[in-house]
A and B are shown apart, each in its own frame.
Chain A
Amino acid sequence: MVLFVILCPIVAAILIMVGAPARKTALAASVLAFGATLFLIASFKQGQHDFQHVTSFTISPEWRLSFTTGIDGLSLVMVLLATIVTLAAVWFTGTIDKYENAFYACLLFISGGAIGAFASIDLFFFYAFHELALIPTFLLIGIWGSGNRVAAAWKITIYLAIGSFILLLGLILLYQSVPAVSRSFDIRTLTAAASLGQIAAEAQRHIYLLLLIGFGILISLFPFHTWAPEAYASAPAPAAMLHAGVLKKFGLYGLLRLAIPLLPEGARHWTNLLVVLLLGNIIYVGLVTIAQKRLDWMLGYSSVMHMGYIFLGIASATILGTTGAVVLIFAHGLSIALLFAIAGELRKQTGTLVFDELGGLAKVMPFAGLAFGFGVFAAIGLPGFANFAGEIMIFFGAFKNGWEMDRFHIFQIATALALWGVVISTVYMLRAYRKAFMGILNDRWNGLVDFRSGLRIPVALLVGALLCYGFFPQFFVRMVTPGFRTYLTVNKSR
C-alpha cells in the first residue's frame, strides 16, 4: 500500500510523458494517492513506534542496500501532507500554454520524490527520492517561471545540489560510523546500533554538523536561505505550493528522523549554534519580510521565517517540542500552499503582485479574499488553526527544553525572542492582506473574476484540513509521540 502511494504519481508522470491526457491522469493519480493515504491512516495501529506496512527489495546484499518502504506515525503525517498538497496543486494547475504534459509530469515527479523520501526506511533511497525532484524543479521554474526565472532556477538548483551532496557525505559517514556488522542504510538497524551506543560521540558531532548544513541548505536555514524567496517568487504557483509546502519539509523530516534517534550527542553539542541560526530565521528574515513590496516575495520570505519555529521545536529535544514541530510542519505546508495558490491566481489575472498596484480586490474576488484571510490567520497562528497548536507546543517545549540546563539559558532567551517573531509575522501578514484585498479598488481590476467553483474545492480541502487539525491536534500527538518518547527517554537515561 505504501508502495502504491509512492508509485502512483511516478507512474502517472511517466504515462503523461509518453502521451496520456495530462490533467486527467494527474488528477486521478493524486486522488488515488490521497485515498490510499487515508486508507493507511485508517489501518494504522496507534501507539506503536515501529514501522508498519514494510516491504523490502534487496538491491545490493554487499552494501546491505535494499529498497525498503514503510511508515510510522511521523512518516504517515508527512505522506498525508504530501498527498493533500499534491492534490491541491494539481487541481489548481488548470491548462498550461506550452508543454502541458511536461508541466504535469514535473509536478508529479516532485510529489512522488517527496512521498518516496518520506516513506523510505532505507537512507539511500530516502536521499535519492528527494533528488528526483531536483531536475523537475529546474525545468518548472526555467520554462514556466516568471520574473527573474533564469537566475532563480540556477540558484535553487545549484544550492540544492551542493546541499544534498553535503548531506550525502553526512549519510556516508553515518554508515561508516557504526561497526561493520551492523553497517547498513536501514534506519532501523542504525537506530538499534545507536541505542546500544555504538556511534562514537566524536563521530556524532561531525555527522550532525554535516547533516545540519546539508539539511539546513534544503530547508533554507539562515544563512543558507537566499535561494528560497527568489525561487518561490519566480516558480509557477503549483510548483511553489509543492516545493514550499512539501519538498522543503524533507530536511525537517530528516532531522527529526536522524538527528534525534541517532545523534543525541551531536545534537547536544551543536544546540547553541542551531538556536542562534534559527533566531536568524525568525528575527532577521522576519524583518526582511516586513520590508517586501511584492506579495510573492513576501510569501517566499515568510516561508523561510516560519522554518525557524520548526527548528526551535526540533532543537528543544522535548516530546512536546518535537511533536509541535511535526504539527507545525503539517500546518505550515497547508497554509503556505494555500497562500501561494491564491497569489498564483492573482498573478494570472492581474499580471502583477506589487502591493502598491493591488488593493480592494476583496470587492471583485470575495471568495479569494476569504480564502486568503484564512491563510493569513493560519500563518499568523490564530487559535483554531493547526499552526496555533504547533506553535504553542513548540514554545512550551522550547522553554522547558530537554537538555536539563538549570540556569536561565539560551532556550528561554530564544523562546522570548521567538514569541516576538509572532508579532513580526502578524505585521507583514495583515499588512499584505490590507494592501491586496482591502482599501480602494483600482479601476484596472474591475474586470477580475472570482475563483470559479472548480477551484474552490482545493481551497476548501486545504482550509478544512487546517481547521480540522487545529481543533484536533491530538491526531498528530497520538501518531508521533510513541516514536519520540522512545528515543528521547532512551537518550536521556544514558
Chain B
Amino acid sequence: MITAPELEITVLVLGMVILMVEAFATNIDKRVLAFAAITGLAIVLLATFFVTPGASPSPTTGFWSFYTADRLSIFFKQFALVTTIFVLIMMTDYAPVVRSSFPGSTSQAGLGEFFALPIFTCVGLMYLVSAIDFVFIFVSLELVTISFYVLVSFTRRNPITLEAGIKYLVLSALSTAFLVYGIAWIFGVTGQTNLQRITEVLANPGTDRGAALLGMVFILVALGFKIAAVPFQIWVPDVYQGAPTPVTAYLSVGSKAAGFVVLLRVLQPFLALPQMQRLIVLIALLTLIYGNLAALPQANLKRLLAYSSIAHAGYLLIGVACFDGRAVSFYLAAYLLMTLLSFAVLIIVAQQTGEQISDFDGLAKRSPFLAFAMLIGMVSLAGVPFTAGFLGKFFIFYAALKQHQIALVVVGVITVGCGFYYYLKVVRAMYWQSTAKIDKIPVTGLSRLAISALIIATIWLGIFPQPVLDALQR
C-alpha cells in the first residue's frame, strides 16, 4: 500500500539521482536525463491513483499536523506531476536554445540542471498542496520559489532573461517577507500555526479578529503575487516574456495553481468574516479588468499569454470570492491543459520564426497540425463550448450567479468578449494571413504525442467533465 508522503519522497530521490548522474556521467546525451525524469514522474503519477485519499490519521501532533492527504491534495499532486511531465517534454524541445546561450563551453553545458530543477519544483508543489500548517506552507513555498529563481534566469547570457530573473528574485523575496509578517500576526493573535486550530481560536468571540484580519491581508498580498492578481501583477509580463518559455509555462500553470490551493486553504478560517469576501471581490474585479484590457494590444504571443494568465487569475478569483473550491479546481485543471497546449506550440514555432503573433502568419499552410493545436488552445482559453475552458467558465459563472455577485458576472461577461478578441487574433494570424515561408516546421515524435494528448484532453474534458468533478468530490 502506498501512502501519500511516499510520493514526494520518491520524486525527491528521483531529482537527487538525476543530479548525481548528471554530475558524474559526463559523456551521455543530457536529454536522456529528461527522458528518465519523465518516465520516473509518470510512474509516480500512476502510483497516485492507488493512494486512498483521507484526512490525517492523527491530526494533532507530529507530521500529520502539517500534512494532509485529502482528495483536494491528491488531485493537485497529480496536477503538479502532469504539469512537470509536460514542462520536461517542452524542455527537451527547448534544449537547443539553452545550449546556444552557453557559448564557448561543451555542447551539453547547463542542460543537466535544466532538467533536474523542475523535479524539485514539483516536490515543492506536491508538499504545498498538502500543507495545512503555516510553517509547512512557508517551507514548501520557498522550495518552489528558490528553484524558480534559478530556472527563470537560466539562459543568463540573454539580458532580457537576466532582467526577468532579477525582477522575479526581488519581488518574490518581498512577497515572502509579507507572507512571514502575516503569519507572525496571525500567530500572535491565535498562538497557532495549524489552520484547523486557527479556525477554532477565531471562532472564539474573545479573539481579536481585527489583528488576525490584518495578518490575513498580508498573506493575501504574498499569495496575490504568486497567482498574479492585480495590484501585484507588475512583474508578470516582463518575467514571463524573459524567462525560458518552458519555465514560463511552468510559472503560469504550476505556480498559479499552488497559489490558489494555498489561498483556498488559508481562507478557510476567515470565511466567517465578511470583509474578506468584499476584499477578494474587489481584487477579482481589478484583475479581470486589468488582465483583459492590457492583453488587447499585445503583439508578442508570450507577453499576450502573460496577460491572459492575469486575466484567468481574475476568473479563478471569482470562484474564490464565491468560496467554490470545486469550480476553482476544475478551472485550474482546464487552464493547465489549454495553457500547456499553447506554450507547447509556441516553443516549437518560436524556434523557427519568432514569438510575435505575426510570426504565426500562415501557420495553417505550413503546419496544419500545429495550427490546429494552437486553435484548440486559443478557443479553449477564450471559452468556446466543447472545450475544457468553456466548462471552467460555466462553473465559475454558475457559482457567481448562485451567490448573486452581479458585479462580478457583468464584468466577467464583458471581459470574456475582450478575450475572444485577443485569442482570436492568434487564430487570425494562423489562418487568414499568408506568409512567404512555406517550409514545414519539424515536430519531434514525443512532442507530437504530447500535443495530441493535450488536444484530446482539452476536448474530452469539455464534453465529459464528470471524472474530474468526481475526483474533486469532498
B323 interface residue (CB < 8 Å to A): no
Interface flag for A467 (CB, 8 Å): no
Whole-angstrom distance between the Cβ of B104 and the nearest chain A Cβ: 47
* B453-466 interface bits toward A, Cβ cutoff 8 Å, 1 = contact, 0 = none: 00000000001111
Q: Which residue of B lies closest to A67 (CB)?
A: B463
B428 contact set on A, CB distance < 8 A? 142, 153
A169 at the interface (CB under 8 A from B): yes
**B397 engages A168 (CB within 8 Å):** yes
B431 touches A131 (CB 8 A): no
Q: Contact: B464 with A172, CB < 8 Å? A: no
Q: B401, B421, B432: which contacts A173 (Cβ < 8 A)?
A: B401
B388 at the interface (CB under 8 A from A): no
**Structural contact, B402 and A157, CB atoms closer than 8 A:** no
Q: Are A139 and B466 in contact (CB under 8 A)?
A: no
A176 to chain B: which residues have CB within 8 Å? 398, 401-402
- Is A60 in contact with B432, judged by CB distance below 8 angstroms? no
Q: B402 — which chain A residues lie within 8 A by C-beta?
A: 176
Tell me whether B346 is interfacial, beta carbon within 8 Å. Answer: no
Taken together as a complex, chains A and B put the C-alpha atoms of A153 and B425 apart, in Å, by 11
Q: Mark B216-231, 1 if CB is under 8 A from A, else 0.
A: 0000000000000000
- CA–CA, A258 and B196, complex, Å: 47
Our pick among B384, B397, B398, B417 for the contact of A158 (Cβ within 8 Å) is B417
Does the CB pair A131–B416 fall under 8 Å? Answer: no
As a 0/1 sequence over residues 118 to 144 of chain A, the CB contacts with chain B under 8 angstroms (1 = contact) are: 000000000111011011001100110
Docked Cα-Cα span, A99 to B413, in Å, equals 34
What 0/1 readout, one digit per residue, does chain B (406-435) give for beta carbons within 8 Å of chain A? 000100011011001100100110011000
Fill in one digit per residue for B362-389: 1 if any A CB lies within 8 Å of its CB, else 0. 0010000000000100010011111000
Segment with Cβ contacts to B, from A37-45, A159-167, A385-393: A159-167
Whether the Cβ atoms of A61 and B466 lie closer than 8 Å is yes
**Also in contact, A135 and B379, with CB within 8 A (given A142-B431, A157-B420):** yes
- Whether the Cβ atoms of A60 and B386 lie closer than 8 Å is no
Total cross-chain contacts (CB, 8 A): 75
Q: Least Cβ distance of A358 to chain B in Å?
A: 29
A165–B466 contact, CB under 8 A?
no
- If A131-B385, A165-B417 touch, whether A143 touches B464 (CB-CB below 8 Å) is no
CB of B394 within 8 Å of the partner chain: yes
Q: Is the CB of B420 within 8 A of A158?
A: yes
Quick check: B384 and A135 within 8 Å, CB to CB? Answer: yes
Whether A169 and B397, one on each chain, are in contact in the complex, defined by CB atoms closer than 8 angstroms, is yes
In the docked arrangement, what's the CA distance between A134 and B382, Å?
Answer: 12
Q: A142-B432, A162-B417 are in contact. Are A131 and B384 (CB under 8 A)?
A: yes
B390 CB contacts on chain A under 8 angstroms: 128, 131
User: Is B469's CB under 8 angstroms from A62's CB?
Assistant: yes
A154 in the interface (beta carbon within 8 A): yes
Q: Nearest residue in A to B466 (C-beta to C-beta)?
A: A60
0 or 1 for each of B436-474: is its CB under 8 Å from A? (1 = yes) = 000000000000000000000000000111100100000
Tell whether A423 is near chain B: CB-to-CB under 8 Å: no
Chain A nearest CB from B228 CB (Å) reads 23
Residues of B within 8 A of A162 (CB): 413-414, 416-417
Size class of B's contact patch? 20 to 34
User: What is the 8 Å Cβ interface bit string for chain A, positions 454-468, against chain B (1 contact, 0 not)?
Assistant: 000000000000000
User: A62–B471 Cα gap in the complex (Å)?
Assistant: 13
Chain A residues near B463 (CB, 8 Å)? Answer: 59
Q: Which one of B383, B409, B414, B464 contacts A169 once the chains associate, using CB atoms below 8 Å? A: B409
* B contacts with A: majority SS: helix
Q: Is the CB of B385 within 8 A of A128?
A: yes
List residues of chain B with CB within 8 A of the CB of A127: 385
Smallest CB separation, A493 vs chain B (Å): 32
Contacts of A62 on B, CB cut-off 8 Å? 466, 469
Contacts of A135 in B (CB 8 A): 375, 379, 384, 427
User: Complex formed: what's the CA distance from A477 to B318 in Å?
Assistant: 47
Question: Are A132 and B386 also in contact (CB < 8 A) when A169-B413, A172-B401 are?
Answer: yes
Residues of B within 8 A of A166 (CB): 413
Contact (Cβ within 8 A) A128 B465: no
Most buried by A among B409, B431, B432: B432
- Provide the residues of chain B in CB contact with A61, threshold 8 Å: 466
Expressed in whole angstroms, the minimum distance between the Cβ of A247 and any Cβ of chain B is 15
Q: How far is the CB of A141 from chain B (nearest CB, A)?
A: 10
> How long is the Cα–Cα vector from A153 to B433 in the complex, in angstroms?
14
**Residue-by-residue, is B119-157 near A (CB-CB < 8 Å gives 1, otherwise 0)?**
000000000000000000000000000000000000000
Q: How far is the CA of A166 from the CA of B397 in the complex (A)?
A: 11
A165 touches B416 (CB 8 A): yes
0/1 interface trace, chain A 169-186, chain B, CB 8 Å (1 if under): 100110010000000000
Interface-centre pick from B375, B414, B420 (highest chain A CB count, 10 A): B420
Binary contact track A95-106/B, C-beta < 8 Å → 1, others 0:
000010010000
Q: How far is the CB of B342 from chain A (nearest CB, A)?
A: 16
- The distance from the CB of A135 to the nearest CB of chain B, in whole angstroms, is 6
Nearest Cβ on chain B to A99's Cβ, whole angstroms: 8
- CA gap between A21 and B275 in the complex, in Å: 62
Q: Mark A53-66, 1 if CB is under 8 A from B, else 0.
A: 00000011110000
B397 touches A172 (CB 8 A): yes
Residue of A nearest to B464 (CB): A59
Choose from A134, A138, A153, A165 the contact partner of B413 (Cβ within 8 Å). A165
Whether A138 pairs with B397 at a CB distance below 8 angstroms is: no
Q: What residues of chain B lie closer than 8 Å to A129, measured between beta carbons?
A: 385
Q: Is the CB of B424 within 8 A of A138?
A: yes
Nearest to A138 among chain B residues (CB) is B424
Q: Determine the distance from Cα of A131 to Cα of B383 in the docked complex, in whole angstroms.
A: 10
User: Contact between B427 and A138 (Cβ–Cβ < 8 Å)?
Assistant: yes
Shortest Cβ distance from A199 into chain B, in angstroms? 15
A327 and B445 CA atoms in complex are apart in Å by: 55
Which residue of A60, A139, A142, A169 contacts B469 across the interface (Cβ within 8 Å)?
A: A60
- B462 smallest CB distance to A (angstroms): 9
What's the minimum C-beta distance from B389 to chain A, rounded to whole angstroms? 12
Chain A contacts of B427 at CB under 8 A? Answer: 135, 138-139
CA distance A285 to B416 in the complex (A): 29
Q: A132-B385, A134-B384, A135-B384 are in contact. Are A172 and B398 (CB under 8 A)?
A: yes
Assuming A139-B432, A142-B432, A154-B424, what are 8 further A-B pairs, CB within 8 angstroms? A62-B469, A131-B385, A135-B427, A142-B428, A162-B413, A162-B414, A165-B383, A168-B397
Show 20 A/B contacts (Cβ-Cβ < 8 Å), sorted by A.
Answer: A59-B465, A60-B464, A60-B466, A128-B386, A128-B390, A129-B385, A131-B384, A132-B385, A134-B384, A135-B375, A135-B427, A142-B428, A157-B424, A158-B417, A161-B416, A169-B413, A172-B394, A172-B401, A173-B401, A176-B401
List the 6 closest A-B pairs by CB distance, nearest first: A128-B385, A162-B417, A161-B420, A131-B385, A60-B466, A142-B432
Interface residues of B (CB under 8 A from A): 364, 375, 379, 382-386, 390, 394, 397-398, 401-402, 409, 413-414, 416-417, 420-421, 424, 427-428, 431-432, 463-466, 469
